[in-house]
A and B are shown apart, each in its own frame.
Chain A
Amino acid sequence: MRRGLRTVAFYCGLAAFTLFSVFPGIWMVLTVFKRNTDLYSIAANPFWFHPGPTVRHLLFLFTGTHFLRFALNSLLIGACVVPITLLLSVPAAYALARLTGRWGERSGMVLFLVYLIPPTLLFLPMYQVVTFLGLANTLWALVLVYPTITVPFCTWLLLGFFKSIPRDLDEAAMIDGCSRFEAFRRAVLPLALPGIGACVVFAFSLQLSDYIYAATFVTATGAMPVSVGVPTELIRGDVFFWQGLMAADAIVAIPLMLAYGLLFERLVSGFQSAETAAAGS
């Protein structure tokens, strides 16, 4: 009896959390397919369609707005930022895990403390730097700046992954005649691939999520990423294109959600090793 009650409580709790997380998502997807007369009716049940659903607003998003441009911009920025992040943080994390002494550890600490300075404190001078470099109003400004957000986080995450790989592995490879760098490349890197996968997803979603840099640096529609372009173009003064806004949101969020869902267990084990590494070092 007690056991049964606990099972019921367990599933109720789980259902409540799931509902809390997805409710705005459900409302979002329903909205996409609503007709205007249906959308702006107080009396009608908002969780159903009267009259039936329409794809007109979804099509409008692609044909009547610059959404495709924004999405391409975001993908392009991501395609630049993710490799830059990996190139910087993978070697740095390995060096912090294996190679550097006391000073290395201290500079590693500096790298993480940088994470404590939010973009909202840096955006005004960053705007000057970007203007000085002649990059204002281009998406290259964002490519240049986003690694400051992604590199500290990814280095922290990867540090855990590298520390969870036994040192014996590099040393065995070095006894076999590899140099330290080759040992890193051939023996350690393949084992860190799940961690690198997690970094790719995190770096991509961190850059996608930025609002303040994009809102500050870019005012030309053609160079805007999704996070700023969609609200700027689909909210015109007091007129909100709700179906279009929700469609854009769903199109961006659902693929990322699936990627995170696939990686969930790995992310947990990655954080696990990052935490034990932080506690054990």
Chain B
Amino acid sequence: MNEEAGASGPPARAGLADDERRLGWLMLGPALLYIGGFVGVPFVLAVLLSFSDATVGDPHIHRLVGLVNYRRAIAQPQFWTALGNSLWITFLTLLALAVLATALSELLARPFRLKRLVQTLIILPWAMPVSLAAVAWLWLLDSTFSPLDWLFRRIHLLGPGGWFGPGLHFYYLGRTGLAIASIVTVNVWRMLPLATLIVLAGRMSIPRELFDQAQIDGAGFFRVLLRISIPALMPVLTVALLFAALMVFGDMATVALLTRGGPGTATQVLPYWAFLQGINGGDLSGGAAVALFMLPVLAGVAIAALRLAYRSQQS
């Protein structure tokens, strides 16, 4: 737009447009430089590191050793467990989030009493730092003192004669399937507020006339949901799920504190495996190689995001 003004206008206007562009870069520049410096440089270093033989004791990159670190990474069975778990946990979390965020935003779009209070309470999970939230769940899902177990015992689902057998406890974090389900639950719990905020914003942007018209036509609740709300919400739902996917796939605090990857290595995920190798194990280069395996997935997400942005520009 500035270019047009510069080309067609008199010289004075061209000067103004140039000034504006300079100001534009002056205002955008610091953010770009900061991010470029503190993300770009480490990113290049991450790639170099993964090809080197650096350790925590000797963190300098002396020589490149080729694909050795990658080969060593994929030779470990834990790596494949971690990769599979990362993908599986992220997928299940997104699936649940898509349903729950749509439902919750549908509820919050209506007026009701005590709305402010409900809004405030619903945002609680997002207000907790991830690590502290994981600790809170660790206590909630404690193997012996979980209040959930107590509730299940009270309604006779657990314990002698209960549906789930005579045992007094579920051991949520001690069995592989339940442990994965617990991690997914914590992720959904934590991401639901942000996803709902984003979807709710999209829900409020749907023109009222669409709903009014549907009501005149006599469409029921589910018909309106399927025909109007969900199609109109697809773009924002995608944005919400993208954010959630990045935060869940890249998160290690939940697993690190909740299960420490256990039982055994059954709930290991890529970021935590990279951390264990790189920092605790002292193998910087090996950890970097493991972490870089996240890149193809993230690149896929990035391409999806760009295509989405492009498509919305086209329409």
Contact = CB atoms under 8 A, between A and B. Distances in A.
Interface of A: 6, 10-11, 13-14, 17-18, 20-25, 27-28, 31, 39-40, 42, 45-47, 87-89, 91-92, 94-96, 98-101, 104, 107-129, 131, 144-145, 147-148, 151-152, 155, 180-181, 205, 208-212, 215-216, 226-228, 230-231, 235, 240, 242, 245-246, 248-249, 252-254, 256-262, 264, 267-272, 274-276, 278-279, 281
A32 to B, nearest CB: 11
Nearest to B113: A11
Contacts of A264: 116, 119-120, 123, 197
Contacts of B1: 101
A17 B25 contact: no
A23 B200 CA distance: 23
B145 A228 contact: no
Interface residues of B, number: 104
B135 A245 contact: yes
Contact of B135 (A249, A256, A272): A249
B31 A47 contact: no
9 contacts: A18-B118, A21-B192, A99-B20, A100-B24, A113-B306, A128-B42, A180-B23, A249-B133, A257-B127
B107 interface: yes
B92 interface: no
Interface stretch (B70-78, B172-180, B223-231, B292-300): B292-300
Interface majority SS (helix, strand, loop, mixed), chain B? helix
A257 B120 contact: yes
Nearest to B250: A118
B266 interface: no
Contacts of A254: 127
Nearest to B61: A128
B116 to A, nearest CB: 7
B215 interface: no
A252 B118 contact: no
B271 A212 contact: yes
4 A-B pairs with least C-beta separation: A118-B250, A261-B120, A99-B24, A125-B45
A36 B112 CA distance: 41
B21 interface: yes
Given A42-B145, A209-B130, A228-B131, A27 B139 contact: yes
Contacts of B294: 118, 120-121
A75 B140 CA distance: 28
Contacts of B137: 24
Interface in B150-198: 150, 168, 189, 192-193, 197-198
Given A101-B2, A125-B43, 14 more contacts: A11-B112, A21-B193, A95-B23, A117-B39, A120-B251, A121-B46, A121-B291, A180-B20, A211-B253, A231-B257, A253-B124, A264-B119, A264-B123, A271-B197
A256 B58 CA distance: 41
Most A CB within 10 A of own CB, among B35, B49, B107, B251: B35
Interface in B33-53: 34-35, 38-39, 41-43, 45-46, 49
A260 B257 CA distance: 26
Contacts of A123: 275, 278, 291
A211 B129 CA distance: 8
B30 A91 contact: yes
Nearest to B146: A46
A119 B278 CA distance: 14
B204 interface: yes
Contacts of A228: 131
B200 A242 contact: no
Contacts of A113: 302, 305-306
A231 B135 contact: yes
A248 to B, nearest CB: 7
A120 B19 contact: no
B298 A118 contact: yes
Nearest to A132: B59
